[in-house]
Amino acid sequence: MSKLFSPATLRGLTLRNRTVVAPMCQYSAKDGFANDWHLVHLGRFAIGGFGLVVLEATGVTAEGRISYGDLGLWKDEQIAPLARIVDFLHSQGAAAGIQLAHAGRKASTPVSWHKDLSEAEKSTLGFEHWTPVAPSAVPHTDTNPEFQTPTALDAAGIRNVIDSFAAAAIRANQAGFDTVEIHAAHGYLLNQFLSPLANKRTDEYGGSRENRMRLVLEVTEAVRAVWPADKPLLARLSVTDWHPDGWQIEDSVALARELKARGVDAIDCSSGGFDGAVIKAVAGYQVHLAKAVRDGADIPTMAVGLLGDAHQAETILVDGEADFIALARAALDDPNWAVHANHELGASNYDLWPNPTDRVRERDRSLGLRSFAAN
Ligand SMILES: Cc1cc2nc3c(=O)[nH]c(=O)nc-3n(C[C@H](O)[C@H](O)[C@H](O)COP(=O)(O)O)c2cc1C
């Protein structure tokens, strides 16, 4: 059996394989509520054989949403439609995760395909616009007016962020999720506190690396305190800002050690999110980041970023560069990526196909495909 399609255990959760659907914002919710779009979009990945499906960046507060179309978990009423999705993912053998997020100064941005909305359309889509909060009153960029100048969080605002992450984690557990991922990447709020590019504070949350790490560690402690001990906790980091004045790989290794000490079970290793980053996106361009964190902090990692080739994914795991392979766009392109990759890596059975799709095997036999190919 390939390593990619061997089971993996984190705490009390055993994944059927090591393929993960990375969180993907759909900008298709209204007032934070999941709907049929989310069920069908996410359900396809469970049918398609993935081990873990992680739901998109989900606002822990309304003001923490990237847009008015984000999912949310800031009120109890938002639990039930998410529980419906979790139940479906479970029914198809996939584990269910959700990314808990606060966008900070990158909040309240438009949904790109909602152009020139009429008042009636705004009402239908749940359009909202608000002033974001951030570590410092510095906008994400000066060149794009979609990003506003945020209000700097005061002590009460910071406390509210911590409490909101914990409250959302409690709701995620009530919805039945197997894991939550703390979003500390991509230039959103927790990443803004980590990075000297966005954090200009002079209190105990700014200045030294230790101070800049304080909020994400306090959020992690608060989430771990309410998240069941038998369920794994994930964190997504931008392992590097790809910027000479920003957060660096060695900073992430130091942070990952602290996260591990506070009960984080795996680090999802992404990168970037700040203006001025210089990124060369080629196949597997972030794999070395997963390896650096894995080796440096002795913690399981997820590799992500242009990883659609099954053999490359297998090699990453066999070579010990990462423990899980996460896909976003490749999964959008082919929601059955996992069942297909399993065959590519030599699976001789069709066990990963759901029963109602069994007749693919018959087709393959007739055409001499996959395990029926002539040698
Ligand atoms: C449509 C879309 C939405 C995304 N939304 C999120 C998100 O909610 N949270 C997040 O951490 N990353 C998000 N990402 C980034 C992906 O999780 C992933 O890290 C990135 O796309 C690289 O992987 P890929 O090359 O397989 O697409 C998104 C990516 C896409 C394509």
The number of the ligand 1 atom at minimal distance from the alpha carbon of 308 is 26
Q: Which two tokens stand for residue 313?
A: 């994914």
The closest residue, in CA terms, to atom 21 on ligand 1 is: 328
Q: Which two tokens stand for residue 289?
A: 């980041």
Does residue 188 carry a catalytic annotation?
yes
CATH of segment(s) 8-111+118-344 = 3.20.20.70
Q: What is the pLDDT of residues 66-114, one digit of tens each?
A: 999 999 999 999 999 999 999 999 999 999 999 999 999 999 999 999 9
Q: Report the separation in Å between the CA atom of 202 and the middle of ligand 1, taken as the mean of its atom positions.
A: 32
pLDDT of residue 74: 98
The CA radius of gyration of the chain, in Å to the nearest whole number, is: 20
> 358: pLDDT confidence band, cut at 50, 70 and 90?
confident
284 lines ligand 1 (CB under 6 A): no
Residue 125 above 80 pLDDT? yes
246 lines ligand 1 (CB under 6 A): no
Q: Which two tokens stand for residue 303?
A: 């590799």
**Under 8 Å CB-to-CB from 365, ≥6 apart: which residues?**
372
The full set of domain ranges for the chain reads 8-111+118-344
DSSP string computed for 150-184: PEEP-HHHHHHHHHHHHHHHHHHHHHT-SEEEEEE
Name the phi and psi angles at 126, rounded to 5: 75, 35
The stretch 197-204 carries a mean pLDDT of 98
Residue 375 above 70 pLDDT? no
Q: What is the pLDDT of residues 283-323, one digit of tens each?
A: 999 999 999 999 999 999 999 999 999 999 999 999 999 99
Rounded to 5°, angle at Cα 61 from 97 and 238: 55
Q: Report the separation in Å between the CA atom of 57 and the middle of ligand 1, taken as the mean of its atom positions.
A: 9
Options 188, 205, 285, 350, the catalytic residue? 188
